[in-house]
């Protein structure tokens, strides 16, 4: 008998509760307004989080401003913004600077994300070996070897983007992108470029794929000597599905953090608490990410009919 198709679903478990929102006499965690600078690769889901927070607490308004990751860190260090959301934790250079400048802050891991490798719909095979991905974005492979064997047009984000830093560290061993790789500042423009270019391939955060999945091909990565945390699945290929990101099978996963240097428990802190609580964590699931502040479990479903 043929094996039924199996799918993995991420489900929220019992909530752990919000961070403490003790109010000072003149400060409220659910009233007032605040600006949060957000890593551009996370903008769709963080914008929705802010809208959902306002719908829940009408007297609280969070303005989400997109910025590239390094730009957001600079603004945070310069105190031009008090709260930021990043598609990576602070790197060592940033931590050293903040410590040297005596800047106190709090950081919270709120989600797990991944850098998706996307292709144009005309490409027949979206299963790529790790070595092929390295060769494409490193610049040594410039033409597809299957299908119509079109020239490869590789698209990546801004040089200050978190997708740039995470991908180069994970896949290029910290090396640069190839000279033919085209940089596009906006994730939305990058998505459109891949959709329109028959030979296109690009890197993008999962939040930007929400509602666009049928318009592109989502690549499965692995093969060969690829060995994730579990040796039982060595050499296999994985998409950035939530279960694969949670299990650390997908090779370009990353943590999402929110940082604050606001000592008062004001509305910006209330927003962080909301994002960390059950409703905010469910919003991440809805946008294809994995909760990072609440426990989840993986449920396998099958397409086999019940007799």
Co-location of 150 and 268 in the same domain = no
DSSP character at residue 151: B
Contact 155, 181 (CB under 8 A): yes
Q: What was the pLDDT predicted at 1?
A: 44
* Domain closes at, from 253, 277, 292: 253
Co-location of 118 and 249 in the same domain = yes
What are the distances in angstroms from CA 153 to CA 118, 139, 161? Answer: 12, 10, 19
Co-location of 140 and 93 in the same domain = no
Distance separating alpha carbons of residues 22 and 291, to the nearest angstrom: 24
Determine, yes or no, domain membership for 1: no
Determine, yes or no, domain membership for 63: yes
Determine, yes or no, domain membership for 83: yes
Co-location of 103 and 182 in the same domain = no
Contacts of 247 (CB under 8 A, 6+ apart): 228, 229, 230, 298
Beta bridge partners of 12: 296
Q: What was the pLDDT predicted at 299?
A: 75
Q: Is 26 exposed, middle or buried (0-12, 13-18, 19+ CB in 10 A)?
A: exposed
Determine, yes or no, domain membership for 307: no
Q: What was the pLDDT predicted at 307?
A: 42
Indicate which CATH number applies to the domain containing 69: 3.40.190.10
C-alpha radius of gyration, the chain, whole number:
20
Domain span at 221: 114-253
Strands (E), the chain: 6-12, 32-39, 60-67, 83-86, 106-119, 127-129, 153-156, 182-183, 200-205, 217-218, 220-222, 237-238, 253-260, 290-291, 296-302
Co-location of 130 and 247 in the same domain = yes
Co-location of 155 and 53 in the same domain = no
Q: What was the pLDDT predicted at 26?
A: 62
Co-location of 140 and 246 in the same domain = yes
The CA angle 198-39-80, to the nearest 5 degrees, is 145
Q: What was the pLDDT predicted at 263?
A: 84
Q: What was the pLDDT predicted at 147?
A: 79
Q: What was the pLDDT predicted at 224?
A: 86
Structure tokens at 106: 């709090």
Co-location of 210 and 144 in the same domain = yes
Q: What was the pLDDT predicted at 13?
A: 65
- Which parts of the chain have pLDDT scores under 70? 1-7, 9, 12-26, 301-307
Co-location of 160 and 58 in the same domain = no
pTM: 0.89
Co-location of 97 and 175 in the same domain = no
Q: What is the domain count for the chain?
A: 2
Residue whose pair of structure tokens reads 């180069």 in the numeric block = 168
Co-location of 129 and 234 in the same domain = yes
Q: What is the DSSP string of 220-258?
A: EEE-TT---S-GGGTT-EE---HHHHHTT-STTEEEEEE
Closest CA to 45 of 119, 117, 110: 110
Co-location of 196 and 284 in the same domain = no
Distance separating alpha carbons of residues 168 and 139, to the nearest angstrom: 13
Q: What was the pLDDT predicted at 10?
A: 74
């Amino acid at each position: 008998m043929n094996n039924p198709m199996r799918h993995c679903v991420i489900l929220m478990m019992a909530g752990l509760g919000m961070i403490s929102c003790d109010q000072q006499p003149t400060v409220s965690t659910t009233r007032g307004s605040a600006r949060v600078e957000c890593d551009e690769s996370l903008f769709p889901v963080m914008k929705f989080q802010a809208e959902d927070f306002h719908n829940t607490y009408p007297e609280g308004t969070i303005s989400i401003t997109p910025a590239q990751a390094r730009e957001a860190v600079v603004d945070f260090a310069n105190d031009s913004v008090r709260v930021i959301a990043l598609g990576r934790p602070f790197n060592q250079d940033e931590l050293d600077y903040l410590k040297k400048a005596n800047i106190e802050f709090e950081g919270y891991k709120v989600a797990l994300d991944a850098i998706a490798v996307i292709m144009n719909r005309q490409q027949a095979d979206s299963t790529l070996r790790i070595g092929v991905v390295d060769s494409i974005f490193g610049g040594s492979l410039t033409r597809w070897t299957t299908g119509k064997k079109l020239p490869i047009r590789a698209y990546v984000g801004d040089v200050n983007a978190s997708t740039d830093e995470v991908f180069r560290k994970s896949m290029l061993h910290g090396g640069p992108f190839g000279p033919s790789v085209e940089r596009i500042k906006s994730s939305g423009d990058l998505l459109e470029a891949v959709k329109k270019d028959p030979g296109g391939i690009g890197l993008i955060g999962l939040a930007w794929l929400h509602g666009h999945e049928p318009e592109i091909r989502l690549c499965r990565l692995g093969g060969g000597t690829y060995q994730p945390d579990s040796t039982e699945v060595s050499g296999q290929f994985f998409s950035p599905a939530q279960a694969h990101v949670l299990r650390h099978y997908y090779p370009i996963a990353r943590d999402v953090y929110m940082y604050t240097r606001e000592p008062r428990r004001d509305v910006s802190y209330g927003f962080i608490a909301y994002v960390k609580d059950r409703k905010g964590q469910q919003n991440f699931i809805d946008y294809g990410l994995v909760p990072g502040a609440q426990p989840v479990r993986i449920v396998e479903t099958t397409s086999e009919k019940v007799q």
